[in-house]
Structure 1
Amino acid sequence: MKLILSLITAFLFFFQSSDLEALRNSYAKANQSNANTQTFINVAEKQSASDPITSGYKAAAQIMEAKVTTEKGKRKSFVKTGATSLENVIKSNPNNIELRLIRLSVQENIPKIVGYHSSLKDDKAFILSNYSKQNSALKSYIQKFAAQSKTFTATEKASLK
């Protein structure tokens, strides 16, 4: 019985991990084009998990929906709803580095006129100070983000090795 339960748990964990990888990969490409943004939104919407990281990506997808929507009146509501959701998830999980990375990337790429960029310095400092405690997959993800980021300096990017 324990063996069956262990196999089921491993099976579920495997597919949850691949879902997270799909979210990460899609999110990393989302800003390259409107088609990639729409792909990320679709991948995020299909996620059934309700863990904090998945919720963070879903919130980012809501914010990014403002970029691709054709309904101009909805843009503000997409950003507001997504930003509120992301802030709530981070408030509940303040020590989650991936959630901080999501918020940093959103705030770095959203137009300044929107006014959602107050946590850039805090999130960058948190990521730099907690980077060494992360697993290798997350370290690699952070390195890839930092390499293309406008927020990290060359010295800070070099320190993420």
Structure 2
Amino acid sequence: MKLILSIFASLFLFFQSSDLESLRNSYSKANLSTQNTKDFIQLADKKTSSDPVILAYKSAAKIMEAKVTTEKNKRKTFVKTGATSLESIIKNNPANTELRLIRMSVQENIPKIVGYSKNIKEDKAFLLSNYSKQNAALKNYIKKFALQSKSMTAAEKNVLK
């Protein structure tokens, strides 16, 4: 019985991590083109999970829908819905580094006029102070984000080695 349970748990963790990797990869490319944005939104919409990180990517996808929608009156709704959801997830999981990374990247890339950029400094400080505690995959992901980040200085990027 223990063997069956451990096999089931292993398979669950494997598929959970592959879901997360596919979301990370798609998210990191989403701002490169409209098609990449649409692909990320589609991928995120297909994910069903109660994992806060996957839910945060789904929230980011909702915000990104404002970028690609042709219905101008829906843009504000997409941003508000996604941002409210993302803030709620972070409030319930304040120590999760990847959630802070997602929020920081959203806030860096959303037009300033939207007014959703108040947590960039806080999230950057959180990422820098908690970087060493993360697993290798997340460290690599944070480094990739930092290299293209508009908010991180060269000195801060060097800390993430």
User: TM-score surpassing 0.5?
Assistant: yes
Summarize the alignment of residues 2-17 of structure 1 with structure 2, pairs less than 5 Å apart. Answer: 2-17=2-17
Unaligned runs of 5+ in 2: none
Q: What is the CA deviation profile of residues 64-107 of structure 1, one whole-angstrom value per residue up to 9, with x for unaligned ones? A: 00000011110000000000000000000011000000000000
Give how far 1:49 is off.
Answer: 1.0
Give how far 1:5 is off.
Answer: 1.0
Matched, 1:58 2:29: no
- Size of the alignment, in residue pairs? 161
Letter in 2 for 1:125: A
Letter in 1 for 2:121: K
Letter in 2 for 1:28: S
Give distance in 1, aligned partners of 2:146 and 2:2. Answer: 43
- Provide the residue aligned with 2:31 in structure 1: 31
- Provide the residue aligned with 1:156 in structure 2: 156
Letter in 2 for 1:56: A
Give how far 1:12 is off.
Answer: 1.1
Q: TM-score, normalised by structure 2?
A: 0.99
Matched, 1:81 2:84: no
Letter in 1 for 2:46: K
Unaligned runs of 5+ in 1: none
Summarize the alignment of residues 12-161 of structure 1 with structure 2, pairs less than 5 Å apart. Answer: 12-161=12-161
Q: What SS does the corresponding residue of 1:10 show, helix, strand or coil? A: helix
Give distance in 2, aligned partners of 1:88 and 1:78. Answer: 15
Q: What is the CA deviation profile of residues 115-142 of structure 1, one whole-angstrom value per residue up to 9, with x for unaligned ones? A: 0000000000000000000000000000
Letter in 1 for 2:148: Q
